[in-house]
Structure 1
């Protein structure tokens, strides 16, 4: 709704960028709080979060470029300044950040992999929820046409210039749907944590519920970069494909970690 919050001279402060910064600090703060419940080093969590943030930015833009190329977008548009400013494809960021998470902890960061994953993912969900408010402000990741009472009509030409957002047409506020979905994911993870029976359960649960939420909210996505054409099956968009992949990953981790003998050791109760 407001892609540019305000301008300082000729420098515009984008609402999206500001909300992403807030999302990072809020998500990291929650992750550090969760880490303390298992006596994990909060400074190590911060270092890991920074590495995952950088990889998430690169991964989200890389997936966006790949989808654009597959859909036949001109190279001039794909590698334009608008692409640099755009947020990217969120699941590309999650994939890249997850890869960095496993890589860094396998290298030895003084943090146990599964407990660290349990601590991180509620903060990831919170960060996603806030980030989607940035999408709503910028007009990207917009929804299909809707005439429901809560439909949103974008009017700012900046949103159209950088995201192709239709102007003057009531749309599903799918960005807000995703915000509510991510807040629900966070709530599920926080409520499940005191009842977990093996290390890594909350980490695996994140991928299950995040993937399910994305499969559902894709129903109302209307932006042209959803990547449906190359699949020749309109239902299976890029977001749904990655959402299903997340669910499979979560299920696989759940089954694998729950069967490991050391995983069933009693865990400290939340304080």
Structure 2
């Protein structure tokens, strides 16, 4: 077998500016997610501009909050390298930080626009998880967010395409394609949420189902990864995931019991 060459993470260059596959893939995920949200929003009585207006605020805030989250848990390094904090192009953003920033932004936005937060969250949930499913392929192009060391035979037994197996060969070692596991889990969640749209769930329960589904998958997949943000010996993403699962289940039952969710999705 000849030397395995990784996929070039740079798609093309324009005037000395390198355009990376990571950015193209993330951008594609955002565009598809926005189109899907606008279409469902129109069907549910929202204006065409509601989701584009929200994303004008949510995207930059999500990037900033994702970076802040990462820096907080890597403060031992960044406290001695303050000039590196803004350099997100060197890597170091966390999806949980992005989700926290996005939810807060959406809540404020819906209050200003006099729109139901839960209605907008239910509409957006399939779009969010679809964007996450696509975005994980950006990690693939960068050969990051992978799991522990495995053998080539292990990857071949998963019946993976050759290009995935080769891209998981990093510095002479093969690794678990955890990006793929999470992408497939999110894609399955996307299908599930679309099916739940046909069920007369109560307000907010599609979004809370997304929170629970994503968190269950992330908890188990995070245990395979080698780049986790840690608190002592504990993986932060696993702790957050457990907390979100409990929150989603309690929120569903609490909102039903207290009549906060009397309105149903298909009303």
User: Do they fold alike, i.e. is TM over 0.5?
Assistant: yes
Equivalent residue in structure 2 for 1:146, among 145, 150, 154:
150
Query: 1:94 corresponds to which residue?
Result: 99
Equivalent residue in structure 2 for 1:244, among 242, 252, 256:
242
TM-score calculated relative to the size of structure 2: 0.85
Report the aligned-residue RMSD: 2.4
Deviations 1:18-57 (A, max 9, x none): 1111111111111112222322223112211232211111
Task: Output the CA distance in 1 between the equivalents of 2:192 and 2:119.
Answer: 17
Q: CA deviation at 1:95?
A: 1.2
Task: Output the CA distance in 2 between the equivalents of 1:13 and 1:128.
Answer: 20
Task: Output the CA distance in 2 between the equivalents of 1:199 and 1:146.
Answer: 44
TM-score calculated relative to the size of structure 1: 0.83
Query: 2:3 corresponds to which residue?
Result: none
SS of equivalent residue, structure 2 residue 197:
helix
1:96-245 map, 5 Å? 96-106=101-111, 108-147=112-151, 148=154, 149=156, 150=160, 152-154=165-167, 166-223=170-227, 226-228=228-230, 230-232=231-233, 236-245=234-243
Where does structure 2 lack aligned partners over 5 or more consecutive residues? 1-6
Q: CA deviation at 1:10?
A: 1.9
Equivalent residue in structure 2 for 1:255, among 253, 256, 260:
253
Task: Output the CA distance in 2 between the equivalents of 1:53 and 1:249.
Answer: 24
Q: CA deviation at 1:227?
A: 2.5
Cα–Cα, structure 1 residues 180 and 29, in superposed 2: closer, same or farther, change >3 Å? same
Query: 1:159 corresponds to which residue?
Result: none
Task: Output the CA distance in 1 between the equivalents of 2:114 and 2:261.
Answer: 18
Task: Output the CA distance in 1 between the equivalents of 2:8 and 2:240.
Answer: 29
Task: Output the CA distance in 2 between the equivalents of 1:81 and 1:268.
Answer: 44
Instruction: Answer whether contact 2:200 2:264 (CA < 8 A) is retained.
Output: no
Cα–Cα, structure 1 residues 81 and 204, in superposed 2: closer, same or farther, change >3 Å? closer
Q: CA deviation at 1:91?
A: 1.1
Q: CA deviation at 1:67?
A: 1.6
Instruction: Answer whether contact 2:203 2:262 (CA < 8 A) is retained.
Output: yes
| Number of aligned positions between the proteins | 252
Instruction: Answer whether contact 2:69 2:93 (CA < 8 A) is retained.
Output: yes
Instruction: Answer whether contact 1:210 1:246 (CA < 8 A) is retained.
Output: no
